Amino acid sequence: MDAIAGVDFIEGDFTEESVFEELLNLIENRPVDLVISDIAPNLSGMTSVDLPRSIDLIELAMDFAKTWLRPGGHFVAKAFEGEGIDTLRQQIRMTYDKQVNIKPKASRGRSREIYLVGLGKK
Ligand X SMILES: C[S@@+](CC[C@H](N)C(=O)[O-])C[C@H]1O[C@@H](n2cnc3c(N)ncnc32)[C@H](O)[C@@H]1O
Catalytic residues: 78
Rule CB under 6 A: say whether 20 interacts with ligand X. no
Q: Under the criterion CB under 6 A, does residue 115 sit at the interface with ligand X?
A: no
Q: Does residue 11 interact with ligand X by CB under 6 A?
A: no
Number of Cβ within a 10 Å radius of residue 104: 9
- Collapse the DSSP code of 109 into the 3-class scheme (helix H, G, I; strand E, B; otherwise coil) and give the result: coil
36 binds ligand X (CB under 6 A): no
For strands 96-102 and 69-80, give the pairing. unpaired
8 Å CB contact between 88 and 114: no
Q: Hey, which residues between 76 and 105 contact ligand X (CB under 6 A)?
A: none
Q: How far is the CB of 38 from ligand X (least distance, A)?
A: 4
Q: Which residues bind ligand X (CB under 6 A)?
A: 13-15, 38-41, 57
